[in-house]
Structure 1
Amino acid sequence: MATTHLTGRTARFTGRTALVTGAGSGIGRGVALAFAAEGANVVVAGRRREPLDETVRLVEAAGGKALAVTADVSHAPDTEALVRAAVDRFGSLDVAVNNAGVHRGGAPLADLSEEDWQAQLDANVTGVFLALRAEIRQMRTQPSGGAIVNIASVFGVHARRPGAAAYSATKAAVSVLTRGAALDHIHEGVRINAVSPGATATPMSFRPGETEGDRAERARATLPLGRISETAEVAAAVLYLASDDAASVVGTDLVVDSGATA
């Protein structure tokens, strides 16, 4: 991946600290790089160290500052330690993006194993809850509060597809959890929203046996925009909701899906 120096861009997040979970690849890495490009100190989290280190390398090669922290968001001690690490290193936690999640199964619901069901609940719902709780507890102690963006999915409250009932249920839960938490904590200066991506240029958007050309052809035939979203486009939506530009946006769920649910 080519690197780009971070000078000469807008700097909405200069001096702020942004935490991104699931930042070792895909949307999470794209979001981390986008925050760094706008001046943020970035804390990247995930379960595997090697891809996190690569994200840090990309940020630093472009002139930014980043810290990698290994964490399993489905474990409360990990989320609490993650927030502490961000504050200890950079002095505050101003923005958090809860992106970590898994998609297991792909079979009809009656054929889904309890293991796959539980894995998705643990990462996609409990993980978001535990991360939110730790982040809010820190942000509400800060005079400037903070902003949180949860990554839900177009497959949730917005749309469904065969073979993804469990995944869709967990992502619908993220959308609802976002709205409830937003109402609970906006009076404490913590502003919470969600982004629901549709098909995005990550490995998750491939169907079994599909090539990039196959995926592009499918998108041309089925999506109103004629293509899937780039990770940078999803990141742009996240940064908008996390920025002062969205100061009065509370509890929304912004869909970025190439028009699929229009």
Structure 2
Amino acid sequence: MTNTDIISGCTPKLIAIPGIARPQQAMRASNLLVYGEIHGIRENADVIYTLVHELRIKQIAIENSPSIKDFIDLASRGIYDFSRIDPDTFDLSILSLEVAKTIATLLKEGVIDTVAYIDTFFDSPDRLALDHPDSPQTREQVLAENILGLDTAYRTLCLMGQWHTQPEPIQSDGILHTSALCRIRRVRQDALCAHMIYRAGRAYNCGHVLDLPERSDVSHRYEVRPRSSLDFDIHVPYARPTVLDEPNTSTDYR
């Protein structure tokens, strides 16, 4: 199937997520929910669609460049013009076709009012800065600043990969990684976080199907479980990979 066939054929749906009342209550005190997923999983789209409806989200912020805005705007009118978007966007799974369709559908339905594009780091004309060893941490800072700059008079859901939503600084390859979420919470201590965890399954990334580790501690059903008053785990019973193109198998799923 072509990308047009795939995006035309997928329809986001509402799913039952027991425990969703907990983040509903928490959002009465905070209009900002940061969501961390493993990219390239079909089920992410239905969870996003359900969160937006159940939590009355009015603004979605996504880990993508403003350069994809035209594609999303046209998609919300049922026009899928792939000349308006870098195909690597989908191959890298930072944005899947399913999530793109979900966002377009939410715009078309009038459920959300606006989409913000918060990953402006790679739009920099300074290639030396992009190649600098510190650039991953600079990107985290850019993401955080862009999120903090949002108008959260709108109830806002920020969609990012889990690398950007680590709750505490961690060492990675000898470098201290301080996620966008950590940086946001230095300013917005009330920022909520929903972390997707998957019992088993696979994800798609860069032409590969990645095997996820099986986790017996994750529920057999969709469910929200609180980790704190600000942090929630969303349990997903099984993950299916998004768009595939001659996939290989790998176990490197980060």
Give me the TM-score of the superposition, normalised by structure 1.
0.41
Judging by fraction of residues, say which structure has more strand. Answer: 2
Judging by fraction of residues, say which structure has more helix. Answer: 1
Give me the TM-score of the superposition, normalised by structure 2.
0.42
